[in-house]
Amino acid sequence: MGVDLRPNVFLVLIFPDSSEFRWVYEPPRIGSKLKSRYGDSWRVEDVLQSGVNMYTVDCRPQNLGRAGTRDLAHDLFERARKAMSPQERRRRRYLP
């Protein structure tokens, strides 16, 4: 009968552009900072208990306030637009 040192809280982290999950010792507090697996800094916007030891955490960019956040559709559109270079757009031939 030893002490269990493994984390026992499961987090589902929802970022505007991705999601991930982690095991931690305690859920984060609203307003605290988190780093994604890519190294980006995020601010915890909301924490919802979705199971016995499971929490869903909504994260937003650290540098923007609530009024400055953009919607997900706009972010996805901008990302898709930037992903295709102008040279690729000229080379593509669309069939009628």
Terminal alpha carbon distance of the chain: 71
User: pLDDT band for position 39 (50/70/90)?
Assistant: confident
SS3 content of the chain, % helix, strand, coil (to 5): 20, 35, 50
For 34, the token pair is 């988190």
Name the burial class of residue 6, with classes exposed (0-12), middle (13-18) and buried (19+) by CB atoms within 10 angstroms of its CB: exposed
51-90: pLDDT as tens digits: 899 999 999 987 654 444 556 677 777 777 766 666 655 6
Task: Please report the pLDDT score of residue 38 as a whole number.
Answer: 84
Task: Please report the pLDDT score of residue 29 as a whole number.
Answer: 94
Closest CA to 5 of 25, 27, 35: 25
Task: Please report the pLDDT score of residue 87 as a whole number.
Answer: 60
Closest CA to 26 of 40, 44, 8: 8
